[in-house]
Amino acid sequence: MGSGNELASATRTVHVTCSLDCPDSCGIIATVDNATERVVRITGDPEHPVTRGFLCGKVARYLDRVYAPDRLLHPMKRKANVPKGPLKHGEEFAAFERISWDEALDTIAQRLQFISDEHGPESVLPYSYAGTIGQLGYGSMDRRFFHRLGASQLDRTICASAGSAALNTVYGVRIGPEPQSFVHAKLILAWGANLHGNSIHLWPFVEEARRNGARLVVIDPYQTKTAKLADEHIALTPGTDTALAMSMMHVILRDGLEDRDYIAACTHGFEALRERVMTAEYAPENIAKICGIDVETIVTLARRYATTKPAVIRMNYGIQRTDNGGTAARAVGMLPLLTGAWKHHGGGLMLSSSNAFGFNSAKLQMPELMHASPLHREARMVNMSQLGHALTELTTPHIHALFVYNSNPGAVAPNQNAVLRGMRRDDLFTVVHDCFLTDTTDYADIVLPSPSFLEQDDVQGAYGHYVAQLSLRAMQPQGEARSNAWLFGQLAQRMGFDEPCFRDTEHDLIRQALDTQHPWHQGITMEALQAHGNMMQLTLPRNECGEFMPFTDASWFRTPSGKGEFYSESLLEQGLDPLPAYVAAPERKDSTQPLRMLARKADNWMNSTFANMAKHRGMEDARIGLNIVEMHPDDASARGLHEGDEVEVANERGSIRLEVAFTGRVVKGTVATSLGWNKLSRDGNGVNVLTSERVTDIGGGATFYAVNVQVSRAATSVLQ
């Protein structure tokens, strides 16, 4: 690669994949200086059909992160005299002393063996999420290792499990229209989806559609940039999406706007649904006040949705982070079944494209190894959204070792005070593998350095498009950083796991991931990927016009009935309501905590990733985000508060210090603040001090946006 001119000959370019937890999975062109082997520039791959040559603001500055002076570059162990607990930013390194990889691996292997012998292997808990979503980095050798050990299994529910389980009940599979097809839509509903902040590569397609006359409606309690730029912003009360979707159904059926042919051919349980939504309870006149919007808004939205073709819904995970969240995703997911929106190219519904990928995860993760463990059976499951409970209360057995990688639970996990109380335990052995010292490493016994996505080999799908990509390292790992796959292969060998699978190299694993009979992976091999610029579209079934149009007929559904299910017998079997129903969140009834809080993601960092980077922090609007609570002026004046006042935002789980800002982005009754690093907040407490370990109705997901709080003037200021 590289071209003929003088500058280019000094450099080469490599296609890598952004492995951050983002639907866009961008193709990236990294320019490497041949003399220094440094990556000097990264840009969006212009050949990638969704990336189309640009990167988001976060990753445009990724090299600052890769070459950051405070990157973790070597294994370290906690100094004997330093207790576990929060460290000031910039002072973390002083708590640890450098050790060799050999010493680190030997220590970990010995401790895990001892703990496993003493308390049973299930007393070891792996804790990982999506630091990288590459197939190898997200779940391959690590799973083999913990399966063979017999460690507790982690139920990875912190992000998407409610929405995923919900859509599975309706469709049996999670796929949707290609992002490129959004240009054909005439109505786009961004429902709990912050496109501008969280998945910017859909935006140009939305804009093109709007130039062609499409209307963009954003349904979000918060006025995101996406909402500000939309044709209409419906700022509903958080957690009331089920009510809104069912009221829309009520209007559609009342006005006879449903697609009867589609319903007859492709759906199951329509009469039962009709009976449920046609009760007076779901009439817009009753639902409007629940949602905090006008009756007319619901009626117009429903009619417009049913009569505009093509109409597409970009539902995202925002709507499912509440107690009734699984049902909300179900109800919204049913709308295109009612109107037959799937029949029109550019219409339908997109939550995730991940089910279209058929990487061989069974081969990568080998769950059968649990039977070779001392347990000789499947290990127990621990819900990651209840880590505080797991570390402080779970018995049979207690957790005695916590192995964190790809995640920063000290900041991102709900009920933070319980999580940190657990991680502070002296009798808990904690290992953390990360690129930086974080709010979690403050509690680690051993820290291990991990590479960035420029420094490791992987293969990746996406949850916002249908392109498979190979990502071969553009540079050598910084310092002694080593990948997740390498780490767990090494540990396995030190623990005497002699199965040959623990000696597989990263390239072996990539080949195993691609070794699949999945019909949409035809011809996608490592060699083929390399021959195609490291990216290939899945071989999706297309019509004669080349269009990918799922759910146009009944053959697409993977539900028990083989149809789109309004009524779910499988939910009934689990003792759940087979039909959607709006149920108010429990905390909303508590009058001592009358304000609903959105514990949001920041636009310029990725969950907690980048929150420590000065330039990223600078990009975030100073009046939003960390250290700020956005309030409606009426809610403030009712408490005698003014803009700029320092306040205590509190509930029964804890309190945090923030400064009041009037941004015009929240409606009365709702306040908002952002997720970031605890140690960079005003009082050392992150927003997750306030979030709870309650889980969603379906899918056991976290309920980050179902939090009630009281706001009051801070007694004494912690301001410098």
Interacting residue ranges for ligand MGD, rule: CB under 6 A: 21-22, 58, 129-132, 137, 158-159, 191-194, 197-198, 219-222, 224, 238-239, 241, 316-319, 322, 405-408, 412, 433-436, 438, 450-451, 484, 598-603, 605-609, 675, 687-688, 691, 704-705
Angle between helices 270-277 and 241-254 (to 10 degrees): 100
Rounded to whole angstroms, how far apart are CA atoms 320 and 626?
23
Residue 365 or 609: which CB sits closer to ligand MGD?
609
Distances (CA, A) of 392 to 125, 227, 385, 415, 440: 13, 41, 14, 12, 16
> What is the end-to-end Cα distance of the chain in Å, rounded?
53
Give the span between the Cα atoms of 13 and 180, in whole angstroms. Answer: 26
Q: Which of residues 154-173 bind Mo ion (CB under 5 A)?
A: 159
The closest residue (CB) to ligand MGD is 318
DSSP conformation class of 671: E
| Residue whose CB is less far from ligand SF4, 145 or 466 | 466
* Pick 324 or 392: Cβ nearer ligand MGD: 324
CB nearer to ligand SF4: give 22 or 660.
Answer: 22
| Closer CB to Mo ion, 217 or 606, in the complex | 606
Q: Which is nearer to ligand MGD, 168 or 607 (CB)?
A: 607
Q: Should residue 568 be labelled a site residue for ligand SF4 when binding is judged by CB under 6 A?
A: no
**How many CB atoms sit inside 10 A of residue 90's CB?**
11
Considering CB distances under 5 to 8 angstroms, the limit depending on partner class, which of ligand SF4, ligand MGD, Mo ion, none binds residue 432? Answer: none
> Could you tell me the smallest distance in angstroms from the CB atom of residue 41 to ligand MGD?
21
DSSP track, 632-662 = -HHHHHTTT--TT-EEEEEETTEEEEEEEE-
Q: How far is the CB of 46 from ligand MGD (least distance, A)?
A: 22
Is residue 200 at the binding interface for ligand SF4, with CB under 6 A as the rule?
A: yes
SS3 state at 568 = coil
Give the whole-angstrom CA distance, residue 445 versus residue 77: 6
How near is the Cβ of 353 to ligand SF4 at its closest, in Å? 13
Residues 658 and 643: their CA atoms lie apart, in Å, by 11
Q: Classify residue 674 as exposed, middle or buried by CB count within 10 Å of its CB (0-12, 13-18, 19+).
A: buried
The token duo for 196 is 């501008």
* DSSP state at residue 375: T
Question: Smallest distance from the beta carbon of 361 to ligand MGD, in angstroms?
Answer: 18
Least Cβ distance, residue 231 to ligand SF4 (angstroms): 24
> Which of 514, 524, 520, 687 has its CA nearest to residue 597?
687
Q: Is-contact 228 351, C-beta < 8 A?
A: no
Contact yes or no for 538/520 (Cβ under 8 A):
yes
Among 32, 56, 188, 656, binds ligand SF4 (CB under 6 A): 56
Task: Identify the H or E element spanning 97.
Answer: strand 96-98
Q: Provide the mask over 106-145, with x wherever binding to Mo ion is found by CB under 5 A and - wherever it is not.
A: ----------------------------------------
Q: Which among ligand SF4, ligand MGD, Mo ion, none contacts residue 59 (Cβ within 5 to 8 A by kind)? A: ligand SF4
Confirm if 680 and 89 have CB atoms less than 8 A apart: yes
Q: C-beta of 605: minimal distance to ligand SF4 in Å?
A: 10
**Binding span for ligand SF4 by CB under 6 A among 53-61, 297-305, 473-481, 506-514:** 53-61
Nearer to ligand MGD, 70 or 368 (CB): 70
**Partner from ligand MGD, Mo ion, ligand SF4, none contacting 55, C-beta within 5 to 8 A by type:** ligand SF4
Structure tokens at 518: 């999945």
Report the distance separating Cα 335 and Cα 207, nearest Å: 23
Q: Which is nearer to Mo ion, 72 or 159 (CB)?
A: 159
Does residue 58 bind ligand SF4 (CB under 6 A)? yes
Whether the ω angle into residue 397 lies within 30 degrees of 0, i.e. cis, is yes
Nearer to ligand SF4 among residue 197 and residue 422 (C-beta): 197
For β-strands 11-17 and 27-33, DSSP reports them as: antiparallel
Binding mask 10-49 for ligand SF4 (x = CB under 6 A): --------x-x-x-xxx-----------------------
Question: Pick from 55, 190, 288, 391: which binds ligand SF4 (CB under 6 A)?
Answer: 55
> How many Cα atoms are found within 13 Å in the side-chain-facing hemisphere of 507?
5
- The CA distance from 662 to 647, in Å, is 14
Task: For the CB of residue 34, give the shortest distance to ligand MGD in the complex, in Å.
Answer: 26
Q: Which two tokens stand for residue 181?
A: 């097809």
Nearer to Mo ion, 133 or 248 (CB): 133
SS3 content of the chain, % helix, strand, coil (to 5): 35, 20, 45
- Can residue 458 be called a binding residue for ligand SF4 (CB under 6 A)? no
The answer to whether the bond into 310 is cis (omega within 30° of 0) is yes
Q: Which stretch binds ligand SF4 (CB under 6 A): 50-58, 307-315, 380-388, 694-702?
A: 50-58
Q: Residue 133 Cβ, how far from ligand SF4 at the closest point, in Å?
A: 9
Residue 242's binding partner among Mo ion, ligand SF4, ligand MGD, none (Cβ under 5 to 8 angstroms by kind) is none
Residues whose CB is less than 8 angstroms from the CB of residue 666 and which lie 6 or more positions away in sequence, other chains included: 221, 222, 223, 598, 630, 631, 632, 672
Residue 224 contact partner, candidates ligand MGD, ligand SF4, Mo ion, none, CB within 5 to 8 A by sort of partner = ligand MGD
Q: How far is the CB of 227 from ligand SF4 (least distance, A)?
A: 19
For Mo ion, give the closer residue by CB, 298 or 351: 351
Residue placing its CB nearer to ligand SF4 in the complex, 200 or 689 = 200
Q: Where are the beta strands (DSSP E) in 359-399?
A: 381-383
Contacting positions for Mo ion (CB under 5 A) = 159
Interface residues with ligand SF4 (CB under 6 A) are 18, 20, 22, 24-26, 55-56, 58-59, 200-201
